[in-house]
Amino acid sequence: MKEYIYPTACLAAATVFYLLHDRMHAGEAGEEHSHSPVGFIVAFAPMFCHWAAAVVPQLRFAHHWGWIAAGTIAGLIGAYTGFGAMVMNHKFSDEGGLITKGPYRLFRHPMYVGWMLAVVCIALFTRSPVSLIYLPIPLIIHIRWARMEEKHLREKFGQEYIDYNRKTLF
């Protein structure tokens, strides 16, 4: 029974974060992708993979402390980039300028990086290779969204964004 607790907690957390994100950005321009069925699938598909790994033991990696260590590292980096970006975004969004502080000094799309690392973290914690197989789907979707956002940012900030783009990762 206890093997169901962690996947259930992950699904509950994903639900809460998805709903909070949806509520915080309701009606904002450029946020249409988060309200789509694709956004829902990106948010919940890994949680269903984790549930499958909890129910079917054959879908799990062998237990090893290395998986927990790797998951912890991915989770900490993901939390810093994802939540740090949300804080910076809300702190400086009224100023209307290009945000280049916090995790934005390393990544142009730290929320996407944080989400991808969270998927890796949970997959490693639950020892679920099924979840890692899922990883390319949101990666492709996030790259597509990033390209759309970058086009808008190049139009809005011009050379300032082009210079920033050269200095940062995804």
Instruction: Tell me the per-residue pLDDT of 127-144, one tens digit each, with 9 for 90 and over.
Output: 766 667 777 877 887 888
Q: How far apart are CA 125 and CA 68, in angstroms?
A: 5
| Phi then psi dihedrals of residue 107, to 5 deg | -125, 140
* pLDDT at residue number 115: 82
Q: Which residue bears the tokens 């900490």?
A: 76
The first and second tokens of residue 22, run together, are 């949806």
Q: 110-125 and 136-157 are packed helices; what angle lies between their axes, rounded to 10 degrees?
A: 170
Q: What is the mean pLDDT of residues 76-80?
A: 88
Output the furthest CA–CA distance in the chain (Å, rounded). Answer: 56
Q: Distance between CA 135 and CA 131 in Å, rounded? A: 7
Give the whole-angstrom CA distance, residue 128 versus residue 49.
Answer: 7
**What is the count of structural domains for the chain?**
1
Contact 67, 125 (CB under 8 A): yes
| Domain region containing 31 | 2-167
CATH number at residue 31: 1.20.120.1630
Cβ(53)–Cβ(59) under 8 Å? yes
Structure tokens at 15: 């639900």
pLDDT in tens, 17-68: 666 666 665 555 555 545 566 666 666 666 676 667 666 776 666 667 787 7
* Type of residue found at 128: S
